[in-house]
A = this chain, B = another copy of it.
Amino acid sequence: MVSYTEENYLKAIFKLSEKNKEEISTNAIAESLAVKAGSVTDMLKKLAEKGLIHYTPYSGVELTGQGRQTAVKIVRKHRLWEVFLVEKLGFRWDQVHPMAEELEHIDFDELIERLDVFLGNPKFDPHGDPIPDEKGEFQPSESIRLSEADTGQRLQMIGLENHTTAFLQYLDKKELALGSRIAIVEVAPFDKSLTITIDGDRQVHISHEVAKNILVAVKES
């Protein structure tokens, strides 16, 4: 059995592994779970004991196959529940994370699969993040940061690199949503801020910082 707390550690390690290619540090885990480093060390020993991670003191940590499988299943549940909360219950995308953080720990295979069917087998959650399938496979998708795109390209907003409430609400205010068609009109050389058009008409100005956190697909033209 994997406890609620162990699940949160595994998911945190998985998410950190996705970003940083290297091995994951004790401090990084501590920060992402808001616990102290000493608590992390305790837990790493336990997870290693259970065969969920490879752990060598002082040299970081890595998920085993079984650990990754467990983590991905939690991510699957988290994202499916987020779709449910937004699509069926009408929550906004900036409201659902704390609820999904709890719902993700409810573990009944048939519940997950029925929920998946009920939602129409969604491939992405309300934040554009991919939902792994029952086998733990992620649908590969090609995206670049808006800050790395060129003027003249036809772009579509498909994901985010930042999931904070503040950022989500900022995007709402600018009426930038997943699926929006974006074209870069101009990049200011001084601060790299962008002038863009959204869905062909509205023209909006955003900072380089914001553009770095928006993922876009480049459409054939």
Is A102 an interface residue when CB atoms closer than 8 A count as contact?
yes
Other 14 A-B pairs with CB < 8 A, given A88-B118, A89-B114, A102-B106: A85-B111, A89-B111, A89-B115, A89-B118, A90-B114, A91-B110, A91-B114, A95-B110, A98-B108, A99-B106, A99-B108, A99-B111, A103-B103, A103-B106
Residues of B within 8 A of A98 (CB): 108
Question: Copy number in this complex?
Answer: 2
A: residues with CB less than 8 A from B are 85, 88-91, 95, 98-99, 102-103, 106, 108, 110-111, 114-115, 118
- Can you spell out 17 A-B residue pairs with CB atoms less than 8 angstroms apart? A85-B111, A88-B118, A89-B111, A89-B114, A89-B115, A89-B118, A90-B114, A91-B110, A91-B114, A95-B110, A98-B108, A99-B106, A99-B108, A99-B111, A102-B106, A103-B103, A103-B106
Min C-beta distance of A83 to chain B, whole Å: 14
Min C-beta distance of A64 to chain B, whole Å: 27
The answer for the CA separation of A187 and B183 in the assembled complex, in Å, is 80
Chain B residue nearest in CB terms to A101: B106
The answer for the CA separation of A114 and B114 in the assembled complex, in Å, is 20
Nearest 6 interchain pairs by C-beta: A89-B114, A102-B106, A99-B108, A89-B118, A99-B111, A88-B118
The answer for the CA separation of A95 and B110 in the assembled complex, in Å, is 10
Residues of B within 8 A of A85 (CB): 111
Residues of B within 8 A of A110 (CB): 91, 95
